[in-house]
Structure 1
Amino acid sequence: MTVDKVYSKADKRRKRPIDRLREGAGVMDVGDSSEGAVVGMVPTRKSLLIIKERAVYALQLADQVDPKRKNIHVPNSMQLVAKSGSQSNEVRRTLSTAEALFTKSFFPSDETREACLEASIATMKELLATAQIAAQFKTDQEAAEQSYEGVPKSRALRLPAVTEVESRAKNFILKAESTLQSIFDIARVFYVEELAKKGWPDNLVVAVEKRAGSDANFTKFARALADFIKLIRNARHCVIHQDETKWLELSDFRLTPQNTVNPPSIAIVHPHTPMNEVPLLAFMTDVVDKIGEGAEQLMAHLASAHMERVGKLPIVLNFVPEEQRRKDTQVRYGYFILMGDEWVKLG
């Protein structure tokens, strides 16, 4: 014991001020109280992600910036990653779901877990940006509707207007398609060779069907996801490659022959994936929801198909009933273990 104590004291004396500073305990405030409580922490190679109820922050320790400890003045730092947190569907269905499913227990490879988390973070950022376009359009449309009087003045009816409908719709489609491209990186973690070939998203369907079979739920999901991706991709083609065979029909509020006022609308004219006219806001809302659900279910299927089996008791990944979900994250998928005749949720 005496030798240990002497060594410990000598070792402590050899430490430089920068070592004592970096290794000392400390307390850091993350964001402010308006963003709610901290509900989770996700370590990545680059930083520690702090998930709050209404925000996500990235925390970098000084050693991550200055690993050789050359500059004592380099502080720990934090940066806002997203203005939405665990209460947002977009965060729940991406980052929070990845954190819950790609755990060390079932995915012991650090490289695999890191790749899944990084891909989910990229998808989260893209999806939040897409959702923001839709949210702003909703706000502006509702404001236009509230200001509409519906009574002609000077023999003319002043129609409500969101304005810039064409550019907003096109920007939304471009961002939505970009978000779907980020989902590709999630799938590529497990299908590197298959997705290296041209043909996304059909190459994902082929890869899944080859491993799981044509009637597997994963294969059916992959087909449905591929159809949705093609719809949005072709809508993008209508934006950047418009010609006499493909274009978007967009309208602000308009007066009909029945003397009613229709809300802003969109129709897709395309030889392979046409879409009849629908309200533009409904289209945006549906696309945001389907992208989030697609990312969420893709991760659930991938985790179920590629998890490492632990122990002798049966373990499955399944949909979590609402009453069994964590109240702070509300992640909808998790692992269950068979205990006797009952499936019990893990975690």
Structure 2
Amino acid sequence: MEMNVNDKRTKSGHFEVGDGDDGAIMEMKDMQGKMLVIKERAIYEVSFADTIDPKREYPDLPANVQKKLIDLGTESQLASKTYLMALKMMKPEYISAYVDVKRALEVSFELLLELHKLNQEKESYRLAEKAAIEEYELRRGQKLDYKLPSIPDIQTRCKTFFQKADHVLQTLMEINSLFFIEKKLHKQAHFDTFLSLLKEEYGEKDDFVKMIEQVLPFLKKLRALRDCLDHRQDGVIITDFDLQLNNNVLTPTISLNFRKETIERMPLEMLMDATTKNLLYTVESTLALLCGKHVCIDKMMPYCLRFIPKQQRRNKYIKYAFWSPIGELGWFYQ
């Protein structure tokens, strides 16, 4: 006898999320009727039949549907310092009501995806450069005809990388605009505009102001690189492997001189590495400070943003959390 839809939906059972390669389940969160499953090396979204078909009109639907969102989890610095930190802090009970927390979390995940793509582009370039060097050394060892190493698509790789770097900044600015919606900050604003807003709001000596002042010169160079490469302007010089008069071979380099922004000739891989590191720092610091500046006022249980001492961290990569003066040492909401 075939089981009816009500019996199917209410019967007990179990299921596995992902596979062993993803590691253990570290946390689960309810996200508007769907379950977010955070594992050590992946994040999954699980939807249930009653969420998809609340009227129970389709008995053949599977009891649950799982979808891998990204191959990063709690063991990833990138995921932990961005989206996983945002999940801990961007909650209606902590953040002022005028902030659309749901949308801020959605864009925070988009931000993680953009950063992940950027890191993949960097790694792809690193491997291409490594392969070219290995081929060159192999030919030298075999005493074959001289062949200079090269990365034929180096121009395209650069354009793609710095476009994606700019996408990270645009996505971060959209989150900024959600928190400063009352100040009418546009999601397409530049960071110098954002800095002016912060100075007006909090003063010259504020920590948020100082952080943006610290990173702004580099962010301006990234925007100049993107504009120059995207619009095929003179100003960026990308040089593939370059034979010197002393027979040394330089690895690929890049330099910039565009709209008063300059970068002296330097190894391309070094600039890519600096870009990913600086953007991760900028994103992590901005997300934390946004939440700290827009915490809701609760006279019964005050919250404030604090740095978590290493020995007290549940996730070793998440450095910031809300804190309340509970007990002798206070309580971090992790």
Q: Which TM bucket (shorter chain)?
A: 0.7 to 0.9
Query: 2-side partners of 1:46 and 1:280: how far apart?
Result: 45
Equivalent residue for 2:6?
Answer: 19
Q: TM-score, normalised by structure 2?
A: 0.88
- For residues 148 and 316 of structure 1, do their structure 2 counterparts lie closer, same or farther at Cα, with a shift above 3 Å needed? same
Equivalent residue for 1:182?
Answer: 171
What does 1:185-200 correspond to in 2, within 5 Å? 185-192=174-181, 193-196=183-186, 199-200=189-190
Equivalent residue for 1:242?
Answer: 232
8 Å contact from structure 1 (residues 42, 99) kept in 2? no
| Gaps in structure 1 of 5+ consecutive residues | 1-15
What does 1:144-223 correspond to in 2, within 5 Å? 144-149=132-137, 151=140, 157-192=146-181, 193-196=183-186, 199-223=189-213
User: Percent of counterpart pairs with the same letter?
Assistant: 25
Query: 1-side partners of 2:92 and 2:13: how far apart?
Result: 27
Residue-pair matches, total: 329
Equivalent residue for 1:321?
Answer: 309
| Gaps in structure 2 of 5+ consecutive residues | none
The counterpart of 1:269, out of the listed 236, 254, 257, is 257
The counterpart of 1:306, out of the listed 294, 303, 326, is 294
8 Å contact from structure 2 (residues 238, 252) kept in 1? yes
Q: TM-score, normalised by structure 1?
A: 0.85
Answering whether residue 251 of structure 2 is matched by residue 260 of structure 1, we say: no
8 Å contact from structure 2 (residues 88, 333) kept in 1? no
- For residues 310 and 248 of structure 1, do their structure 2 counterparts lie closer, same or farther at Cα, with a shift above 3 Å needed? same
Query: 1-side partners of 2:252 and 2:34: how far apart?
Result: 43
Q: Which moved more, 1:254-263 or 1:296-305?
A: 254-263
Q: Which moved more, 1:139-148 or 1:277-286?
A: 139-148
What does 1:64-143 correspond to in 2, within 5 Å? 64-75=51-62, 76-107=64-95, 109=97, 112-143=100-131
Answering whether residue 34 of structure 2 is matched by residue 44 of structure 1, we say: no
Task: Give the AA of the match of 2:206.
Answer: A
Q: CA deviation at 1:281?
A: 1.1
Q: CA deviation at 1:129?
A: 0.7
Secondary structure in 2 matching 1:189 = helix
- For residues 17 and 152 of structure 1, do their structure 2 counterparts lie closer, same or farther at Cα, with a shift above 3 Å needed? closer
Q: CA deviation at 1:265?
A: 1.4
The counterpart of 1:29, out of the listed 7, 16, 35, is 16
Q: CA deviation at 1:201?
A: 2.2
Answering whether residue 239 of structure 2 is matched by residue 251 of structure 1, we say: yes
Q: Deviations over 1:37-71 (max 9, x none)?
A: 12223433374322222112221222332233221
Q: CA deviation at 1:152?
A: 8.5
8 Å contact from structure 2 (residues 174, 186) kept in 1? no
Secondary structure in 1 matching 2:115 = helix
* Larger Rg computed on CA atoms: 1
8 Å contact from structure 2 (residues 81, 317) kept in 1? no
Query: 2-side partners of 1:40 and 1:306: how far apart?
Result: 26
Secondary structure in 1 matching 2:108 = helix
Query: 2-side partners of 1:265 and 1:50: how far apart?
Result: 42
Q: CA deviation at 1:333?
A: 0.9
Q: Which moved more, 1:200-209 or 1:166-175?
A: 200-209
Query: 2-side partners of 1:228 and 1:73: how far apart?
Result: 55
Q: CA deviation at 1:308?
A: 1.7
8 Å contact from structure 1 (residues 335, 345) kept in 2? yes
Q: CA deviation at 1:261?
A: 1.5
Task: Give the AA of the match of 1:175.
Answer: K
Query: 2-side partners of 1:197 and 1:298: how far apart?
Result: 15
8 Å contact from structure 2 (residues 256, 263) kept in 1? yes
8 Å contact from structure 1 (residues 131, 288) kept in 2? yes
